[in-house]
Structure 1
Amino acid sequence: MKKILIAGLLVAGFVTPALAAEYYVAQNNTSHKCSVVAKKPDGKTMTMLGTDGFKTKSEAMNAMKGMTECKA
């Protein structure tokens, strides 16, 4: 019973970070408008601004307000 419990906790520990939602600030390549997206931009239609994702949507929105690319 202990072995199963320990194995379950180890699996949950490895899977939990992968389930954490991330948000990205992206700029549309044609319209040059910025937006917050939940999926990492591919670089073809949307370009990621900044180097990292954000844990919450509000963090990404605050970061977008401070980016010079999004001021226009």
Structure 2
Amino acid sequence: MIGTIALAASAVAGGAVAVEFYVVRDAATRKCTVVDTKPTTTIVDNGTFKTRTEAETGMKTMKVCTSN
């Protein structure tokens, strides 16, 4: 019984995938966006965040994202 509980707990923990959010800048439009898949383009500044809200807040403070 204890083995079954341990196996179930490890399956739940192992199934949880950490989602990261990235701030990227489109070279053509010069606009920054938040994406939830690792980009093939350059990530802006230190643009890796644990939540979308953190990424959106961080994007507002990145000079390359706020200047035209």
For 2:28, the aligned partner's letter is T
What fraction of aligned residue pairs are identical, expressed as a percent? 31
1:50 corresponds to: 45
* Residue 53 to residue 15, structure 1, CA distance change in 2 (3 Å): farther
Task: Give ranges in structure 2 of 5+ residues lacking alignment.
Answer: none
Give the drift of 1:40.
1.4
* Residue 52 to residue 32, structure 1, CA distance change in 2 (3 Å): closer
Note the aligned Cα RMSD (angstroms).
Answer: 1.7
- 1:8 and 2:15 aligned: no
The CA distance in 1 between the partners of 2:47 and 2:32, in whole Å, is 16
Give every structure 1 segment of 4 or more consecutive aligned residues whose post-TM-superposition deviation is greater than 3 Å.
none
The CA distance in 2 between the partners of 1:2 and 1:56, in whole Å, is 35
Return the TM-score normalized by structure 2: 0.79
Q: How many residues align?
A: 67
Give the drift of 1:50.
2.9
Task: Give ranges in structure 1 of 5+ residues lacking alignment.
Answer: none
